[in-house]
Amino acid sequence: MILLPERIYCRGIKNGKGYVINDFAKKLEAVISFLPPIPMIIIELLKALDDENSDMNSIARIIARDPSMSMNVLKVANSAFYRLPNKVATVDYAVKMLGVKEITMICVSCGAYQALKPPRGAETFSLDEFWKHSVATGVIAKKICQELSVGDKNIIYFGGLLHDVGKVVLDRYAHDIYRIVVQVTHEECLPMIDAEKRIIGESHDNIGGLIMEKWKFPWLLVDITKYHHNVGECPRESRPTVAVCALADQLARIRYFGFGGDMSGVVLTDTEAFKALAEIAPAIKDMDVFKFVCDLESVNDEILEMEKILNGG
């Protein structure tokens, strides 16, 4: 039996010194209120994306002000994932080739990734493996989206990339208790979300949704994060995209692409995501899911490359 610590240590975010809180509900409140702000450049980009007067040049100008973001955009634009015919050497050209929305989403993902990155060695689970799972979910989601013509193709990859972000938040800012969650998940072969609910009373999907809302991310990204374990409760307008990401999450776990937090087996056709998709896109019932899963081997390189870029490689 695993005993919960009487006092839970929470790393201080504002002063870096740390503090102790006994009541986990209060701690969760603190987690949310102390979460780091999203970098200014992302706020500007999201505003520009909403502004019908902004054009490719204004988006490129915002990105060009931040050298590390510019570098990330160029790396991602030149990655195997996009397979562009020519080398992309400038941010202007990257925006022209990939479009304003896609480029903004690259920046949003890189910004979230950097803002939440814990110090090396302080994490409970391997972050490399965690992000590999996230990238795999994004890559697979995009492939399902293309295969079935379901979901928002501009945002789906980035939804996959960020869907489990609540786990990183919990591990970073509620470290002691999350270590127990991971231990229980392994020892009892539970889905991670069940261990979270039992021990914390809250789960990474809700926490992830809260941070996305706090950061004022596009509503579709919020919904993917919030409902990827609960597609049935998702608002109707975002359900197709959320269902595709949720199915991709399952497939990434079945194929053992990285570490999704748990390795519990599932019958794909029994999942809420599959049932929701079968209603929206009946073609999925005729799809050879087994073959689709086997063919995913070919995405391995894309996953490794993207994971390396996000990790600052």
CB of 252 to Fe ion, least distance (A): 7
CB of 261 to Fe ion, least distance (A): 6
Q: Which residue's CB is nearer to Fe ion, number 31 or number 63?
A: 31
CA distance 254 to 119: 29
How far does the chain reach from its first CA to its final CA, in angstroms?
41
CA distance 153 to 144: 10
Extract the tokens encoding 298: 């070919």
CA distance 225 to 223: 5
CB of 186 to Fe ion, least distance (A): 16
* Candidate residues 44, 202, 223, 249; the one interacting with Fe ion per rule CB under 5 A: 249
Q: Which residue's CB is nearer to Fe ion, number 91 or number 192?
A: 192
Q: Which residue's CB is nearer to Fe ion, number 104 or number 109?
A: 109
Q: Candidates 20-28, 110-118, 163-171, 292-300 — which segment interacts with Fe ion by CB under 5 A?
A: 163-171
Q: Candidates 11-19, 61-69, 259-267, 289-297 — which segment interacts with Fe ion by CB under 5 A?
A: 259-267
**Using the rule CB under 5 A, is 164 a contact of Fe ion?**
yes
Q: Residues touching Fe ion: how many (CB under 5 A)?
A: 3
* Candidate residues 138, 191, 258, 260; the one interacting with Fe ion per rule CB under 5 A: 260
Q: Which residue's CB is nearer to Fe ion, number 218 or number 260?
A: 260
Q: Which residue's CB is nearer to Fe ion, number 102 or number 164?
A: 164
Q: Which residue's CB is nearer to Fe ion, number 208 or number 240?
A: 208
CB of 54 to Fe ion, least distance (A): 33
CB of 228 to Fe ion, least distance (A): 6
Alpha helices in the chain (DSSP H): 24-34, 40-50, 56-64, 67-77, 91-98, 100-116, 127-148, 156-162, 165-173, 175-187, 192-199, 204-214, 219-227, 239-254, 272-280, 289-295, 300-310
CB of 133 to Fe ion, least distance (A): 6
Q: Which residue's CB is nearer to Fe ion, number 32 or number 84?
A: 32
CB of 123 to Fe ion, least distance (A): 16
**Using the rule CB under 5 A, is 196 a contact of Fe ion?**
no
CA distance 100 to 154: 10
Residue type, 170: L
CA nearest 280: which of 227, 225, 230, 240? 240
Residue 15 burial class via C-beta count within 10 angstroms: exposed 0-12, middle 13-18, buried 19 and up: exposed
Residue with tokens 């979901």: 151
* Interface residue list for Fe ion (CB under 5 A): 164, 249, 260
